[in-house]
């Protein structure tokens, strides 16, 4: 009877895919490539201290590493092309790309690279790293929350995170029109990555 009980438990675990929870590979670090079509980098800036203007950067790229058992192994790298800024107003977008703001001609990339990750609570991580923009790198820290994970219809495994944090554009040398546009810019980054199973 004892042998039969073990067999039944094994069958139940297999049916529900639970062996992966206890096996070695599940606790190993997993590498994900960002899906640019489902990853968002959105910002807001206050205009004339009256209302917020929103924009985004199309087509962000990057990777992240996730290890649920050892959060210190977690890492993220993210890049956006500054020419891909989109505020839904062509004239404004051209101005933002100019040397007055992002200077996309001279600085085509803005990027973030983590230096350390600590677990705060279930599904919440404190991320410390360097944000680079206009050729200047500054340390930032923020909390990232896991938003979900699972298989997609095409046989891939996906995982998502989201973070919202504030930067001061003047710290990167972007000090044009500080009287008309707020120095503080709120960024929301929503990541969706596809696990590399190769």
Whether 5 is in a domain gets the answer no
CA distances from 62 to 39, 69, 191 (A): 10, 23, 10
156 inside domain: yes
Amino acid 11: pLDDT: 35
* Domain contains 8: no
Question: 45 Cβ partners below 8 Å, 6+ apart?
Answer: 52, 53, 55, 181, 182, 184, 185, 186
d(Cα 9, Cα 174) in Å, to the nearest integer?
A: 62
61-99, pLDDT tens digit by residue? 999 999 999 999 999 999 999 999 999 999 999 999 999
The CATH number for 182's domain is 2.40.128.110
Cβ contacts of 18 within 8 Å, gap of 6 or more: 12
How many structural domains is the chain composed of? 1
Strands 124-133 and 85-86: unpaired
**Confidence (pLDDT) at 3:** 39
For residue 160, tell me if it sits in a domain.
yes
Residue partners of 3: CB distance under 8 A and separation at least 6:
none
Question: Which tokens is 179 given?
Answer: 């009287």
Q: Is the pLDDT of residue 123 over 70?
A: yes
Asked, for residue 163, whether it belongs to a domain, the answer is yes
Q: Is residue 13 part of a domain?
A: no
Does residue 132 lie in a domain region? yes
Q: Is the dihedral of CA 29, 190, 188, 94 positive or negative?
A: positive
Domain that holds residue 100: 27-195
Contact yes or no for 86/58 (Cβ under 8 A): yes
Q: Is 82 helix (H, G, I), strand (E, B) or coil?
A: helix
- Please check the confidence at residue 7 and state whether its pLDDT lies above 50: no
Q: Is residue 19 part of a domain?
A: no
pLDDT over threshold 80, residue 46: yes
Above 70 in pLDDT, residue 104? yes
Looking at residue 1, its pLDDT comes to: 40
pLDDT at 80: 98
């Amino acid at each position: 009877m004892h042998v039969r009980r073990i067999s039944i438990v094994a069958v139940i675990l297999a049916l529900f895919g639970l062996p992966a929870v206890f096996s070695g590979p599940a606790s190993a670090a997993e590498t994900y490539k960002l899906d640019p079509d489902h990853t968002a980098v959105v910002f807001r800036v206050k205009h004339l201290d009256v209302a917020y203007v929103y924009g985004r950067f199309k087509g962000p790229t990057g990777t992240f590493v996730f290890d649920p058992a050892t959060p210190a192994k977690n890492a993220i790298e993210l890049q956006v092309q500054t020419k891909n800024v989109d505020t839904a107003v062509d004239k404004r977008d051209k101005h933002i790309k100019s040397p007055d703001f992002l200077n996309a001609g001279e600085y085509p990339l803005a990027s973030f690279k983590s230096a350390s990750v600590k677990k705060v609570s279930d599904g919440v991580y404190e991320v410390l790293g360097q944000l680079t923009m206009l050729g200047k790198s500054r340390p930032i820290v923020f909390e990232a929350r896991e938003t979900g994970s699972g298989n997609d219809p095409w046989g891939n495994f996906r995982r998502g995170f989201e973070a919202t944090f504030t930067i001061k554009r003047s710290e990167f040398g972007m000090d044009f029109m500080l009287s008309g546009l707020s120095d503080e810019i709120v960024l929301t980054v929503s990541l969706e990555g596809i696990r590399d199973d190769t």
